[in-house]
Amino acid sequence: MKISVIGTGYVGLVTGTCLAETGNDVLCIDINKDKVKQMQEGVVPIYEPHLDVLFERNIKAGRLTFSTSLEEGVSHGDIIFLALPTPEDEDGSADLSYVLGAAKDIGKLIKDYKVIVDKSTVPVGTADKVTQVIANETQVAFDVVSNPEFLREGFAVDDFLKPERIVIGSSSEKATELMERLYKPFVRSGNPIIVMDEKSAELTKYAANSFLATKITFMNEIANFCEKVGADVDMVRRGMGTDSRIGKRFLFPGIGYGGSCFPKDVKALHKSGKDNNYTFDILNAVIQVNDTQKTILLPRIESYFDGDLKGKTFAVWGLAFKPETDDIREAPAIYIMEQLLEKGANITVFDPEAMPNIKKRFGNTLTYANNMYEATKGVDALVICTEWSIFRTPDFDKLKANMSQPVIFDGRNLYDLKEVEHQGFYYSSIGRKTIAQ
């Protein structure tokens, strides 16, 4: 099939590449000229495991091409995916200007029947709005489908190629048939394509993300309570997670959820509630608890150093909002580092992939190390913000030799308490007892 993808961020790029992988002729459109040039030269503009192999293969096969021209995009695809940003607006709602702006332009350019697919995460009612905006510009027949994306950064290719489910919100038989045909190669494992109305599909996406954010937040609160009463959240997590009704995943406490989606999507659903005369009390609490959780290590760090961080030096390991990505959007590390800098501390950072993005944001206010050990030379404490595998089994002797004090504040519970105690570290983590030497 001929496919166009408008917007080549995470979702657009993965969607386009994976659809080319199953033999479709895919044209990806982006307004960012530099990005398009880079992609035309065969360079993947983001770090995402396994994407480069598929990307290269499909470009070579001529199935994956790039352009800045929306006109070309509208003429090329029988199915046109909108994978455009829906960032948080000032009032917490999803900013639909990219999606509706593109819809209007598509309306002006459309010459024959097309299926326009909302891949972006959008509030209930957006498919209707997109339909209206296009219909205002053209007499040509078209259908609008809601097809939310559930991929996770770091596992995006696998999630797209082997999805647990595909949700299609459509009230047109013709469009539904085309979408089912397009996705057929991805459901060979027996996972379902769930067809529903557009509004339910739109809400499914917000409900899924908000539920997962709530699950994490609940565990963060349990972790905080564990510290008050002397319980160990790792044990509680294991005890709970073996109940299949609860499940083992997304129960890991830490320094709050971040990323480009959970924070904005929880707020957008909360705001959607307000707009429809419904108060999501639970989401209100989730937003507040997560805001506090992001900087929960700070009072501990301050208290350890008797309230004076001026001139103290810290190593920060992990800057991305989670491992296996270079994405720093809403990364807890950012909030912690901003506050440490404000209090006069010096920081040396290391992350396997996110250093260039952090450099763009923090410039020379930070020192950038070439590896995890270099970051710890002469520091008063190590702060861990992301659970990259490389941080999980460090050489503790080397760390002790490098650091001016053996002190670790761990926002991701990477180490076994007995081991760090044995190694002679002061160790503060989340929801577990503090090891004080």
Ligand X SMILES: O=C(O)[C@H]1O[C@H](OP(=O)(O)OP(=O)(O)OC[C@H]2O[C@@H](n3ccc(=O)[nH]c3=O)[C@H](O)[C@@H]2O)[C@H](O)[C@@H](O)[C@@H]1O
Ligand Y SMILES: NC(=O)C1=CN([C@@H]2O[C@H](COP(=O)(O)OP(=O)(O)OC[C@H]3O[C@@H](n4cnc5c(N)ncnc54)[C@H](O)[C@@H]3O)[C@@H](O)[C@H]2O)C=CC1
Numbered residues of the known binding site for NAD(+): 30, 35, 86, 121, 153, 264, 329
> 42: exposed, middle or buried (C-beta count within 10 Å: 0-12, 13-18, 19+)?
exposed
**From 99, 251, 355, 420, residue interacting with ligand X (rule: CB under 6 A):** 251
211 touching ligand X, by CB under 6 A? no
User: Could you list the active site residues?
Assistant: 261
Stretch that binds ligand Y, among 94-102, 109-117, 387-395, 403-411 (CB under 6 A): 94-102
Pick 102 or 372: Cβ nearer ligand Y: 102
153 touching ligand X, by CB under 6 A? yes
**Residue 349 near residue 366, CB atoms below 8 Å:** yes
Q: What is the DSSP string of 277-288?
A: T---HHHHHHHH
CB of 319 to ligand X, least distance (A): 12
Stretch that binds ligand X, among 43-51, 254-262, 284-292, 338-346 (CB under 6 A): 254-262
Per-residue exposure over 407-435, b if at least 16 CB sit within 10 Å of its own CB, e if not: bbbbbbbbbebeebbebebbbbbbbbeeb
**Residue 29 near residue 72, CB atoms below 8 Å:** yes
Stretch that binds ligand Y, among 10-18, 171-179, 414-422, 428-436 (CB under 6 A): 10-18
Cα–Cα distance, 236 to 243 (Å, whole number): 12
CB of 90 to ligand Y, least distance (A): 17
59 touching ligand X, by CB under 6 A? no
Q: 250 is in the binding site of which of ligand Y, ligand X, none (Cβ under 5 to 8 A by kind)? A: ligand X
- The residues, ordered by sequence, that sit 6+ positions from 422 with a Cβ below 8 Å of its Cβ are none
Pick 81 or 317: Cβ nearer ligand Y: 81
Cα–Cα distance, 165 to 339 (Å, whole number): 41
209 touching ligand X, by CB under 6 A? yes
Stretch that binds ligand X, among 16-24, 44-52, 247-255, 366-374 (CB under 6 A): 247-255
102 touching ligand Y, by CB under 6 A? yes
Q: 198 is in the binding site of which of ligand X, ligand Y, none (Cβ under 5 to 8 A by kind)? A: none
**From 24, 65, 121, 348, residue interacting with ligand Y (rule: CB under 6 A):** 121
Provide the 3-class DSSP secondary structure of residue 246. Answer: coil
7 touching ligand X, by CB under 6 A? no
Pick 250 or 426: Cβ nearer ligand X: 250
> 354: exposed, middle or buried (C-beta count within 10 Å: 0-12, 13-18, 19+)?
buried
Is the Cα dihedral 288, 358, 264, 321 positive or negative?
negative
**Residue 18 near residue 157, CB atoms below 8 Å:** yes
121 touching ligand X, by CB under 6 A? yes
Closest CA to 265 of 294, 290, 292: 290
Residue tagged 């045909």 (tokens): 181
Pick 134 or 354: Cβ nearer ligand X: 354
Cα–Cα distance, 431 to 5 (Å, whole number): 44
Pick 228 or 249: Cβ nearer ligand X: 249
152 touching ligand X, by CB under 6 A? yes
Closest CA to 417 of 396, 395, 390, 435: 435
Helix (H) or strand (E) holding 166: strand 166-169
**CB-CB neighbours of 177 under 10 Å:** 12
Cα–Cα distance, 269 to 232 (Å, whole number): 33
Q: 7 is in the binding site of which of ligand X, ligand Y, none (Cβ under 5 to 8 A by kind)? A: ligand Y
Q: 354 is in the binding site of which of ligand X, ligand Y, none (Cβ under 5 to 8 A by kind)? A: none
Pick 86 or 313: Cβ nearer ligand Y: 86
- Measured from each CB, the residue nearest to ligand Y is 9
Pick 304 or 321: Cβ nearer ligand X: 321
| Residue 311, phi then psi, degrees to nearest 5 | 80, -5
9 touching ligand Y, by CB under 6 A? yes
83 touching ligand Y, by CB under 6 A? yes
Euclidean distance between the first and the last CA atom of the chain, given in angstroms as a whole number: 64
Binding residues for substrate: 150-153, 205, 250-254, 258, 322
Stretch that binds ligand Y, among 29-37, 109-117, 214-222, 295-303 (CB under 6 A): 29-37
Residues contributing to the site for ligand Y (CB under 6 A): 6-12, 29-32, 35, 83-86, 98, 101-102, 120-121, 149, 151, 153, 260-261
Residues contributing to the site for ligand X (CB under 6 A): 121, 149-153, 209, 212, 216, 250-252, 254, 257-259, 261-262, 321-322
